[in-house]
Amino acid sequence: MLGRETMRYAIGIDAGGTHLRVARLDPEGNILNKEMLVVGTERTADIFFKTLSEKIRLVAGAHRKDLAGIGLGLPGICNQKEGVIHELPHYPHWHDVPVIQIMKEGFSCNVVFDNDANMAALGEHWKGIAKNLPTFIMLTLGTGIGGGLVLDGKLWRGEEGFAGEVGHMVIEADGKECVCGNKGCWECYASAGAVPVGKTAEGFSKAADEGDSEAKKFWEKFGHYLGLGISNLANITGVEHFVLAGGVSLGWPHFIESAKKTILKGAYPRLAKKIVLQKTSLKGEAALIGCAFAVFQTSKI
């Protein structure tokens, strides 16, 4: 821990399909205070960044002058080189939004940003269940499915930062319609998007706890599709370790056996037996912690 006089803070921001979380963290990745709000239906970049700035000021409070930097995890395609977020399927009005420029206008500190699943992967790798794993895939099961690929100790972002859009892997040609405009994307079958309209993952999880057969059937099918996508990822990348987080991972006890069964059938037998699924150990805070990592230790991964 740094001395009081040099103590600086990071602001971590985790923007998902439904929630916005803003936290202040110390250089050890401890969350000191946090705000959360539901993202409204008005999702233009203007409204988003106005709300975000207010929350950052609220969370930073008297420590605003002690900020080392701000880290943003956003659920879309982040172009690190240009400081621009190209697309966010769950924020349909956003196209080529200059995130870094906008943030720099309001705050004088360092600003870093990345896909929310990448930030969650950094968090798990720094402080969570993936601490000792040089290679793993982070899966955030929320409104969609985000992916963060850590390969041999490094976050793999692809040729231009577009890697990890695993939720839009098609697993059912001509299947369900996806928010991205395509059909049959994995996240239509194994994220909150798979939950029938009017129901919630939380409700279905409680119902399954109580033995409700419709809910149990839902999670079994969910697990099957989850396993199918994980088999695909394993067959393609040869990665054996998967860390699952996000709101829908609530249903874990009800979908995990079904997921494992499908993986044993879907991935190469020798590989299938080695696949390990683990639940986040950071609860809902992996991305926030990853943001702090990105602020304090950009050179490390």
**Which residues bind to a second copy, rule: CB under 8 A?**
77, 79, 86-87, 135, 147, 149, 151, 156-166, 168-173, 175, 180-182, 189, 225, 228, 231-241, 265-266, 268-271, 274
- Strand ranges of the sheet holding 84-87, from the earlier edge strand across to the other edge: 77-79, 84-87, 95-97
Nearer to a second copy, 106 or 175 (CB): 175
Which amino acid makes up residue 290?
Answer: G
CB of 43 to a second copy, least distance (A): 18
Q: Residue 200 corresponds to which tokens in the numbers above?
A: 């919630």
Cβ proximity to a second copy: between 143 and 231 the closer is 231
Please state, as a whole number, how many other Cβ atoms lie within 10 Å of the Cβ of residue 289.
Answer: 29
What's the 3-state SS for 223-268? HHHHHHHHHHHHHHHCCCEEEEECHHHHHHHHHHHHHHHHHHHHCC
CB of 87 to a second copy, least distance (A): 6
Least Å distance, CB 167 to a second copy, is 8
Residue (35 or 240) nearer to a second copy, CB: 240
Q: How many whole angstroms separate alpha carbon 134 and alpha carbon 301?
A: 11
C-beta of 46: minimal distance to a second copy in Å?
A: 22
Q: Which two tokens stand for residue 32?
A: 């000191």
CB of 192 to a second copy, least distance (A): 19
Q: How far is the CB of 238 from a second copy (least distance, A)?
A: 1
Element (H, E) at 147: strand 145-151
Residue number with CB closer to a second copy (9 or 242): 242
| Nearer CB in complex with a second copy: 149/295 | 149
Closest to a second copy by CB, 57 or 86: 86
Smallest distance, Å, CB 63 to a second copy? Answer: 36
> What is the torsion angle, in degrees rounded to the nearest 10, for the CA atoms of residue 253, residue 254, residue 258 and residue 259?
-60
Nearest distance, CB of residue 273 and a second copy, angstroms: 11
The whole-angstrom separation of Cα 1 and Cα 99 is: 31
Q: Which residue number, 60 or 243, has a Cβ lying nearer to a second copy? A: 243
Pairwise CA distance, residues 212 & 23, whole Å: 37
C-beta closer to a second copy: residue 40 or 158: 158
Over 5-57, what HEC string results? HHCCEEEEEEECCCEEEEEEECCCCCEEEEEEEECCCCCCHHHHHHHHHHHHH
- 165-169, long-range: CB < 8 A, 24+ apart: 165/77, 166/137, 166/139, 166/229, 166/233, 167/191, 168/89, 169/229, 169/232, 169/233
